[in-house]
Chains A and B, each alone.
Chain A
């Protein structure tokens, strides 16, 4: 008995810090960054920023259990595929795939013509003036060059629109018309589609935690070419981040959904965390404000998944709510079982494909009158 108690004391002593760490992990696991909305109450969900409906949550928990059972003992490369790619600071693990695009080509000439016809790109012209000038027969900015009052401003606007640098045109339109205006989208049409890079990050949370998956998509020969840089180990983040930043380059157009508030600042924070310089493309198209302006009134919210169902007419089966990505990735870390990575990859892939489809749809909408 005495010896038993002694051993118990030894055990307690040797594991005090172990228990402290365990309690901390429980606390962190309890502190979810999303709210589970019961009975799939759409009305309540409207008030909560990060919500997961309880049906989604239950489905995802069941999915997690199934995956852990199905992939027990399976090697990660067998489960997710992919290959190592060298990069400036060690490289990254890349899972590649492609999908048919079926998107209309960009129409730079049409886009440029539309920009020329938007009188409000001229400094000093508001909605009332625009109406008046249109009535007077000024159909394009080019006509205003001969108007005594607006001539200098019109010349400056034309110089900006015709400068040949789509990034500059885009910034000019955003400054004049706001970030959500279709003109901002039209400006991106001036760039060759091969230069478009779609980006979507999956992270361990809302801020100051690792990015676990960097999803990139490009259009090549009518196909959506998807490259997902996956952290097989959270310790690989620095190398993966460096590889992704290197691939993004600086000359291309970055297309994101909510990237202005999320993906780009997140990259900036992670780069600062590792003391890396951040060179992301200066030309960035965030689809969220544009979508919000177009469809806000008819939809309960403007999440990408909502747009998919309601606007693109696509439904995802068994999709993982993005708020639950941390739980799934953490399950992978803790068990080494690659199963939970699959829905993360699938979710990210669907997001990228949806962004491409959304761009295709916007091409139609923004060109139309």
Chain B
């Protein structure tokens, strides 16, 4: 069937009011470019045999690496990025017999997929780069051989963290290291990003010690700030390659909003569209955001399609063999429809599909495009449908599709100076080689300030040849790249370990009386011991759930940055977050049925926040016009936090909020004034609050639009209700929130 005009076609079969938008994206022809100097004969010969001409962005990447400059490539999925950075790597390996390259992937699975690509590329070009994976699964017996011979090493950050202390054994590899490829770099953001940024600095430092001097090639999804992001991640400027020369097939992107149609759930509608597409003969992939949703849609769809064997479900957790079979079924066209989690999102080759249905906004524009990009790979026209759920991000884009299709505006942020992260990596670095003043350039302005306290705690020792690590444990064990903490609570039932939680989650989900849902059943927590960090649970059959009530207080610390936007003062700096958990409530079907007191000491952590105060007169005006000032501030705070992921690459839970009608901050001009604060929910800071402070006006405007455009009466989950609110979403005043945001924007625009 014809795919062009499928938007109209769908429109005929579904309620018209559900179609929020149809974007027709025209196709683009390929753009090719030559190199100033040809590649080595082996590679040129291979390209000629395969009939491959270099796209413009591939040529740009090759020239940049040849010029020994760092590169950040942001071209779309399937534009030939792997070839773009592997060709110059192979060129270097062919020219210099001692040269090596490191490819870092965020996961083992991705490295496994790429190993085959690199093996066949190297072999086809008549080179033997001996690519090898070195990760937690590599058998001990194979490790010395890989260290001795591999010229392209595929690994992940977790493994690199373990490798660096053994750098003396890696002398051959490190001294020859010429290129470090960081694939899927956009995943390295927030606290994880800070860890990776410091890990890369440690790599560079050790490499230089052994005589290596690599360039970094970062491959990322489309970002609003790729250069800045690359600089944060590697500490060095990078050449940006963003214009793709790869051909683009025409496609239609439909925004489908079941909420506007009333009643139907996102999953039901996604299933309906999926079955419809498969029924029309379109090979279709349906993406869901959870494993459970994938299983549900898969099961429903199999009941409705003519031949259930043509439809499969795909997710992490399936056996490798099963997954390979599904991938092959898709490539060969045997399978007509697959429902998948994001497990299929990454580089796994399944060939070109006709249609993609995305059940629920995946959380970022780039992730959405990555999924949509699964359709139309072979140059045929294709279709993508985004089925919205009721969340604020989904509903915002349904009402403002131009914000989705316009210029990229998601910024990736991370803070390599997060002291909690930096301190740990300084210890690791000092355990690798003595830390000297020349390392200050790598580790930033907090380097000097941290050495002294670390020495005072006897973790470092100053010597004439640098600071030496002298702690009693392994430095790398004190640093968990995944951001985990060793302050973990165990939940035990009948002597059996049920699960482990960090302190915050234990407070929220494993306090006495809490109902804990676990995959093997439902449990009631009977006790929590803060000393031994053990919670005990008993099996329970109950028809209610529990949610903690907590209040947050912020104690602002040193202000790093004070910006004046018109008459609005925005401060960014250290804050101490205190969270008190006085009670929890029991809920049945979303309705609160009881409140029970808790006896837990408050939690506190130090992080980075951004807060702005405004004259008390604003609240007075609200009160006079019949609004509830506290509810208005609270709603505005929720809206600001809800719309952060529209501008910054982050998850809604990465940021916490606090609002008060009277900030207590002695000696501050804003003392006693109403204030809204957003803070990074991870100790030491994620970079989000800092970044938000620089784009505050835009964020506040979006928040205002989000609330004002929502058709609900008194606030709903699409605008100011937050599922993470510690006050049970009380009080909230929707119109008041708009008024507060208007007032703040007004102040910001008055000189």
Q: Are B461 and A17 in contact (CB under 8 A)?
A: no
Whether B457 is near chain A, meaning CB under 8 Å from some CB there, is yes
Is the CB–CB distance between B471 and A238 below 8 Å? no
**A128 contacts partner chain B, Cβ-Cβ < 8 Å:** no
B175 CB, nearest partner CB in chain A, Å: 13
Q: With an 8 A cutoff between CB atoms, is B432 at the interface? A: yes
Chain A neighbourhood of B666, CB < 8 A: 2, 5-6, 9
B127 at the interface (CB under 8 A from A): no
Residue of chain B at shortest CB distance from A204: B472
Query: Is the CB–CB distance between A9 and B457 below 8 Å?
Result: no
Contact assessment for B457 and A234 in the assembled complex, using a CB-CB cutoff below 8 Å = no
Tell me the minimal C-beta distance from B577 to chain A in angstroms.
13
Among A55-63, A251-259, A269-277, A309-317, the stretch in contact with B? A269-277
Across the interface, name the chain B residue whose C-beta is closest to A334.
B458
A333 and B478 contact, Cβ closer than 8 Å, known pairs A17-B446, A17-B449, A32-B473 = no
Once bound together, how far apart are the Cα atoms of A326 and B468, in whole Å? 16
Q: Hey, which chain B residues are within 8 Å of A18, CB to CB?
A: 453, 456
Q: Mark interface residues in B142-180 (1 if CB within 8 Å of A CB, else 0).
A: 000000000000000000000001111000000000000
CB-CB under 8 A from A2, the residues of chain B are: 666
Question: Which of A16, A24, A235, A327 is within 8 Å of B472, CB to CB?
Answer: A327
| CB-contacts of A210-269 with B (<8 A) | 210, 233-235, 237-238, 268-269
Q: For residue A281, which residues in chain B have a CB less than 8 angstroms away from its CB? A: none
CA distance A334 to B470 in the complex (A): 11
Contact of A330 with B458 in the complex, beta carbons under 8 Å: yes
**Contact A233–B461 (Cβ < 8 Å):** yes
Judged by a CB distance under 8 angstroms, whether A39 is at the interface is no
**Chain B residues with Cβ under 8 A from A334's Cβ?**
458
Chain A nearest CB from B463 CB (Å) reads 4
* CB-based nearest B residue for A9: B557
Within 8 A of A (CB), among B386-421: 419-420
Q: Are B423 and A13 in contact (CB under 8 A)?
A: no
A35 to B471, alpha carbons, bound, how many Å? 18
Please determine whether A208 and B431 come into contact, CB atoms closer than 8 angstroms. Answer: yes
Q: Are B557 and A20 in contact (CB under 8 A)?
A: no
B661 within 8 A of A: no
Judged by a CB distance under 8 angstroms, whether A46 is at the interface is no
Is residue A86 contacting chain B, with contact meaning CB distance below 8 A? no
Q: Roughly how many angstroms separate A104 CA and B552 CA in the complex, as a whole number? A: 76
Contact A238 B465 (CB under 8 A): yes
Check: B450 CB closer than 8 A to any chain A CB: yes
**Does B165 contact A207, Cβ atoms closer than 8 Å?**
yes
In the docked arrangement, what's the CA distance between A33 and B472, Å? 9
Question: How far does the Cβ of A15 sit from chain B's closest Cβ, in whole Å?
Answer: 8
B434 at interface, CB cutoff 8 A: yes
Residues in B543-580 with C-beta less than 8 Å from chain A = 555, 557-558, 574, 576
Closest B residue, CB atoms, query A4: B666
Residues of A159-215 contacting chain B, CB below 8 A: 204-210
Q: Does B424 interact with chain A (Cβ within 8 Å)?
A: yes
- Within the complex, what minimum Cβ distance (angstroms) separates B42 from chain A? 37
> B residues within 8 A CB of A20?
419-420, 423, 450, 453, 684
Asked whether, in the complex, the Cβ of A13 is within 8 Å of the Cβ of B434, the reply is no
Q: Looking at B168, B471, B666, which has the most chain A CB atoms within 10 Å of its CB?
A: B471
CA A235 to CA B455, docked complex, whole Å: 11
Chain A nearest CB from B268 CB (Å) reads 48
Which of chain A's residues have a CB closer than 8 A to the CB of B166? 207-208, 269
B 431-449 binary contact with A (CB < 8 Å = 1; else 0): 1111000000000001001
Q: Does B139 contact A (CB under 8 A)?
A: no
Question: Is B478 in contact with A28, judged by CB distance below 8 angstroms?
Answer: yes
Residues 3 to 47 of chain A near chain B (Cβ within 8 Å): 5-6, 9, 12-13, 16-25, 27-33
B667:A209 contact, CB within 8 angstroms: no
A18→B477 CA distance, assembly (Å): 20
Say yes or no: B473 contacts A33, CB within 8 Å: yes
Q: Contact between B471 and A17 (Cβ–Cβ < 8 Å)?
A: no
Question: Which chain A positions have C-beta within 8 A of B463?
Answer: 235, 238
Contact of A205 with B465 at beta-carbon distance under 8 Å, contacts A21-B459, A25-B459, A272-B168 already known: no
Q: How many Å from the CB of B446 to the closest CB on chain A?
A: 7
- Considering the complex, which residues of chain A in the window 315-335 have a beta carbon less than 8 Å from any beta carbon of chain B? 326-327, 329-330, 333-334
Cross-chain contact of B461 among A208, A235, A274 (Cβ < 8 A)? A235
Least distance between B477 CB and chain A CB atoms (Å): 5
Distance (whole angstroms) from the CB of A25 to the closest CB of chain B? 4
Partner of B423, one of A24, A207, A333: A24
B98 proximal to A (CB < 8 A) = no
Chain B's nearest CB lies how many Å from the CB of A279? 16
* Contact A29 to B473, CB < 8 A, known contacts A13-B574, A208-B165: yes
Given the known inter-chain contacts A20-B419, A330-B458, please indicate yes or no for A28 contacting B557, CB distance below 8 A.
no
B486 touches A208 (CB 8 A): no
A7: nearest residue on chain B (CB-CB)?
Answer: B666
**C-alpha spacing A24/B34, complex, angstroms:** 53
Question: CA A28 – CA B471 in complex, angstroms?
Answer: 7
CB neighbours of B606 from chain A (8 A): 16, 19
With a 10 A CB-CB cut-off, give which of A24, A234, A269 has the most chain B CB atoms: A24
Task: List the B side residues contacting A268 at CB < 8 Å.
Answer: 168
How close is A320's CB to chain B, nearest CB, in angstroms?
14
CA–CA, A232 and B588, complex, Å: 65
Minimum CB–CB distance from A63 to chain B (whole Å) comes to 17
A326-346, CB < 8 A from B: 326-327, 329-330, 333-334
Find the residue from A19, A30, A272 having the highest chain B CB count within 10 A: A272
Q: Which of B424, B462, B557, B684 contacts A12 (CB 8 A)?
A: B557
Decide if B453 touches A209 in the complex (CB within 8 Å).
no
With A235-B462, A268-B168, A274-B465 in contact, do A21 and B486 touch (Cβ < 8 Å)?
no
Q: Which of B420, B449, B459, B558 contacts A28 (CB 8 A)?
A: B459
- Would you call A333 and B470 a contact (CB within 8 A)? yes
Centre residue among B470, B475, B666 by max chain A CB count within 10 A: B470
User: For the complex, what is the distance from the CA of A208 to the CA of B431, rounded to whole Å?
Assistant: 6
Do residues A269 and B168 form an inter-chain contact, with CB atoms below 8 A? yes
**What's the Cα separation between A25 and B432 when bound, in Å?**
18
List, in ascending order, chain A residues with CB within 8 A of B450's CB.
17, 20-21
Q: B454 — nearest CB in chain A belongs to which residue? A: A21
Report if A33-B478 is in contact (Cβ < 8 Å); known contacts: A13-B574, A207-B165, A208-B165.
no
B473 engages A24 (CB within 8 Å)? no
Distance (Å) between the CB of A6 and the closest chain B CB? 5
CA distance A326 to B470 in the complex (A): 10
Given the complex, which residues of B lie within 8 Å of A329, measured CB to CB? 472
Give the distance to chain A from B382, nearest Cβ to Cβ, in Å. 50
Nearest A residue to B476 via CB reads: A208
Instruction: Kindly name the residue among B424, B473, B558, B574 whose own CB sees the greatest number of chain A CB atoms within 10 A.
Output: B473
Q: Find chain B residues with CB under 8 A from A208 CB.
A: 165-166, 431-432, 469, 474-475
Lowest 4 CB-CB distances: which A-B pairs, in order? Answer: A326-B472, A21-B453, A272-B168, A234-B470
Would you list 18 pairs from A and B whose C-beta atoms are within 8 A, ordered by A residue? Answer: A5-B666, A6-B666, A9-B557, A17-B446, A17-B449, A21-B450, A21-B459, A24-B423, A24-B427, A30-B486, A33-B474, A208-B166, A208-B469, A209-B474, A209-B475, A234-B468, A237-B468, A333-B470
Binding site for A on B (CB under 8 A): 165-168, 419-420, 423-424, 427, 431-434, 446, 449-450, 453-454, 456-459, 461-463, 465, 468-475, 477-478, 486, 555, 557-558, 574, 576, 606, 666-667, 684
